[in-house]
Amino acid sequence: MLGALVERVSAIDLVRAPTYRPHIVGRGPAALPVRLRPA
């Protein structure tokens, strides 16, 4: 379940661009994969 959430968040981050990143970073664990993906 967590893996699916991370994949979905990563896809959203790539689509929303850095504008959506700070919002996701505040989520918690999802911040790690989200920051590594676009980087």
Instruction: Please report the pLDDT score of residue 26 as a whole number.
Output: 52
Instruction: Classify the C-alpha dihedral 29-36-17-15 as positive or negative.
Output: negative
Whether residue 4 contacts residue 30, with contact meaning beta carbons closer than 8 Å, is answered with no
Cβ pair 30, 9 in contact under 8 A:
yes
Q: Look up the pTM and report it.
A: 0.24
pLDDT at 27: 54
Domain count, the chain: 1
pLDDT along the chain (39 residues), means of 10: 68 60 53 52
For residue 25, the enclosing domain spans 2-36
